[in-house]
Amino acid sequence: MPEISRFLGIIIAMYYQEHNPPHFHVRYNKYKAAISINDLALLDGKLPPKVFGLVIEWASQHQKNLWKIGC
């Protein structure tokens, strides 16, 4: 899975042309999650609340680029 960003121990990755809905993957320590690009909703997995907040903040700033990569 290609890594597209890394910050504060959080890894953001995305498969190209993966199944719908368009989403990205997050890894942080033992936690894993999938986040929708469209509405930034948690699709699968679990993250600590503070980490989830940081990921959503990052994703909202990079949402246009995520669409370009994921679609």
Q: What does the alpha-carbon distance between residue 49 and residue 38 come to, in Å, rounded to a whole number?
A: 20
Task: For residue 35, give every residue at least 6 positions away whose Cβ sits within 8 Å of its Cβ, in sequence order, or none.
Answer: 23, 24, 25, 26, 41, 42, 43, 55, 56, 59
Could you give the residue ranges of the DSSP H alpha helices within the chain? 49-70
Domain of residue 49 covers 3-70
The β-bridge relationship of strands 3-7 and 10-13 is antiparallel
Q: Which pLDDT band, with edges at 50, 70 and 90, does 6 fall under?
A: very high
| Residue-wise pLDDT tens digits, 17-71 | 777 889 999 999 999 999 999 999 999 999 999 999 999 999 999 999 888 876 6
> Residue range 3-13: average pLDDT?
96
**pTM of the full structure:** 0.89
Count of structural domains, the chain: 1
Q: Would you state the pLDDT for residue 28?
A: 98
* 35 and 42 Cβ atoms separated by less than 8 Å: yes
